[in-house]
Amino acid sequence: MTPRLPDDTPAPRPPVLAVIGAGPRGSAVVARLVAHLSAGPGAHAEIHVVDPHPPGAGRVWDPDQSPLLLMNTLAGHATAFPDADARLTGPPSPGPSLRDWAERHGPGDGPEAHAYPARALMGRYLSWAHRTTVAGAPPGVRVVHHPTRATGLTRTPDGRLLVTLAGTPDLLADAVALATGHTDRAPSAADAGLAAHAARHGLVHLPAGHAQERDTTALPPGSTVVFRGLGMGFFDQLALVTEGRGGRFEPAPGPSGGLPAGRLRYVASGREPRILATSGRGVPYLARAIAHAAMQPGHRLVVLDAAAVERLTASAPGSVSFREAVRPLILREAGLAWYRNLADHSPGALTVPGGEFLGEYAATAPGSEAETALVAAAVPDARHRFDAGAIDRPLSGRVFPGADGLDAWVRQWLADDLAGALDPERSPLKAAAAAVAAIKGPVRRLAASGVLDAASVAELAEFRSFGAHVASGPPASRAAELLALAEAGVVAFLGAEPVVTTDGEDGEPGCFTVRTASLPDRPVRTRRLLDAWLPAADLSRTADPLLAGLVRSGTARAHRAGPSGDGPPTGALDVDLTDFRVRDHQGRPAADLFAFGIPLEGLEWNTAIGARAGTDAALFRQADRIAHEMLLRAVPSGPHPEAPTVASGPCPAMPASRTSHGRSVGPARGQAGGASRGQGRASEVP
């Protein structure tokens, strides 16, 4: 890695590389640094990993969280390792998927490939992957975990980077990668008003955040709580205050007993609160289609395919409207999937042969009058038509005279969605959802290409919400649980577009008053309000002192839309997407400071998406590029230009090193290159 020196020449100081954030992305950078450093003989370096949470797992995947919190990714898809044939600049470092790892650590105890496992299991797997990486580092490479937060970053007179750590000595580094993930967000004026009202009147307001970090003891058994939000955070919080308080689900009677197969019954513990659920849509995210053991291939793109993406990305910077040029292609992709499924499984819903209709539908302009007329004639029942607006906002325009009618409507909606999730091969809705899931990669490439215009920032955010509702919802089991809770009277629904007022604005001080568009004449007053979502990334509102300080000092800047950077702020940290160098206040990319992942949401798109096995995941390619660039900056000779290709077989089940808090794993300080490679290892722990 470093040039060979004469025997009488003092060894150069090993480069110091810092990675802030030790979740999947930060750990991927560490893994790629180790892979590059392992490619040449005699490598020396210090890699410092800063995160108060377990390295590998980070905050979201903490191995100690409740086992009731589930992933919405299949066990066979989740991975911490790049594919053996991934397009990387350094040597490959493949390893087992979550499912393969779990199977090896206890025959019969691991999740099936088509199962949605607990997040805690994923956390144990990610932690193991990190320990395995550290254990495989060359003798001269020392990896140190600092179990604390990075609170600041400044440049020293000699040009190095000084990272301020909470409660421990500062860290001086030659290059730094920021992989800070989901950071906390400062409260809005509305949030602050709710908190102040709660404090004045002894109410409970639990603001948006990570479900596993909340103290819900202030929600006593039998108390009425309004939950705002019906996305993934809602399902997490719901599990913790129902099953987490001793309730249980059991199979409901089959068809002969009056309920469809796949339904559940909830047996209450008596310790649950009574939950009134509402959100902008008024219905939960659509359930993900159940995956069978055969693991059927996903949707094959036919409209927004590689050729279409290539054509769009060849456009001039800032010249493409997402709403006019991209969204119609997405809806046509989803519409074709819908109608193909309808033609295959419900041909009676069409007045013309399925093949004839599909051909004509594909040939019409998306959103045109010709398309509307064609669909109206060929699909007479509106329930069988693809209607993206109705899918996205099914309660839009619906007003109910009473809560019972609304509750019955939402329960039926839930039952229909669950039926489709349990039999996705015959569901046009789940076929369309698979198409929406498949276009997320192409849309991400378009967003990163720079060809979209400034107005597309808001349009992409709107579509991200639609995509999350349609294609990133909970496992079908969660929908079955929610329906059982509703039938047991633990959960009731308030409808769409909630508005919360305080301090007697509605004539009753000392409460929160909630009105919805679905029940405008039926306000609900409650002493307890829980916001059940995870705040979106927004640099302008970050509560993270490191990110805020970087912008305040001019070391970094907020990204703005448009080819010249004079459009509206996107909420993202500004980086050069070719190598992820952070841009300073004048737009100059730093040589030694990098960032990727969730802080770039708005510059990139859908950054929270994880790595999927067998797809040459962008997460690993980005981490590899950052590691390569960090080493070019920090190591005099840079990455070895003729690095040997490492065998691309499966990662061996080597002993895993435990990374002690505040301690190094690998050669001790002052012994770089002198300790044996096995020093500091412990037995492998799942």
Residue 503 has pLDDT above 70, yes or no: no
DSSP 577: T
Q: Which run of H or of E encompasses 456?
A: helix 456-471
- Same structural domain, 225 and 149: no
CATH code for the domain of 226: 3.50.50.60
Q: Residues of 17-34 as b/e, b for ≥16 C-beta within 10 angstroms?
A: bbbbbbbbbbbbbbbbbb
Residue 652 has pLDDT above 50, yes or no: no
What range defines the domain where residue 310 resides? 306-470
Name the CA dihedral angle for 378, 381, 386, 388, rounded to a multiple of 10 degrees: 140
- Same structural domain, 409 and 521: no
Specify the higher pLDDT residue, 123 or 651. 123
User: Quick one: what percent of the chain has pLDDT higher than 90?
Assistant: 79
DSSP 517: S
The amino acid that residue 334 corresponds to is A
Is 675 inside a domain boundary? no
DSSP 212: G
Report CA torsion sign: 147, 150, 153, 157.
Answer: negative
Q: pLDDT value at position 672?
A: 31
Q: pLDDT value at position 680?
A: 30
CB atoms within 10 A of CB 375: 21
Q: pLDDT value at position 662?
A: 41
SS3 state of residue 644: coil
Q: pLDDT value at position 563?
A: 82
Q: Which of 470, 485, 509 is the last residue of a domain?
A: 470
Rounded to an integer, what distance in angstroms lies between the CA atom of residue 379 and that of residue 376? Answer: 6
Q: Is 336 exposed, middle or buried (0-12, 13-18, 19+ CB in 10 A)?
A: buried
Token couple for 627: 């590691």
Q: pLDDT value at position 105?
A: 73
The mean per-residue pLDDT over the stretch 532-559 comes to: 96
Residue 639: band (very low, low, confident or very high) from pLDDT cuts 50, 70, 90? low
Token couple for 269: 């513990």
Rounded to an integer, what distance in angstroms lies between the CA atom of residue 427 and that of residue 492? Answer: 27
Q: Quick: pLDDT tens for 147-191.
A: 999 999 999 999 999 999 999 999 999 999 999 999 999 999 999
Is 568 inside a domain boundary? no
Q: Quick: pLDDT tens for 15-27.
A: 999 999 999 999 9
- Same structural domain, 462 and 352: yes
Rounded to an integer, what distance in angstroms lies between the CA atom of residue 166 and that of residue 161? Answer: 16
- Same structural domain, 399 and 526: no
- Same structural domain, 68 and 111: yes
Q: Quick: pLDDT tens for 456-479.
A: 999 999 999 999 999 999 999 999
The mean per-residue pLDDT over the stretch 265-286 comes to: 98
Q: Quick: pLDDT tens for 585-616.
A: 999 999 999 999 999 999 999 999 899 999 99
- Same structural domain, 33 and 163: yes
Rounded to an integer, what distance in angstroms lies between the CA atom of residue 99 and that of residue 293? Answer: 13
Total number of domains in the chain: 3
The mean per-residue pLDDT over the stretch 276-284 comes to: 98
Q: pLDDT value at position 291?
A: 77
CATH code for the domain of 92: 3.50.50
- Same structural domain, 426 and 504: no
- Same structural domain, 203 and 132: no
Among 65-79, 258-272, 279-293, the range scoring the smallest mean pLDDT is 258-272
Q: Quick: pLDDT tens for 352-410.
A: 999 999 999 999 998 899 999 999 999 999 999 999 999 999 999 999 999 999 999 99
Residues 6+ apart with CB under 8 A from 569: 539, 540, 558, 559, 560, 561, 602
Q: pLDDT value at position 678?
A: 29
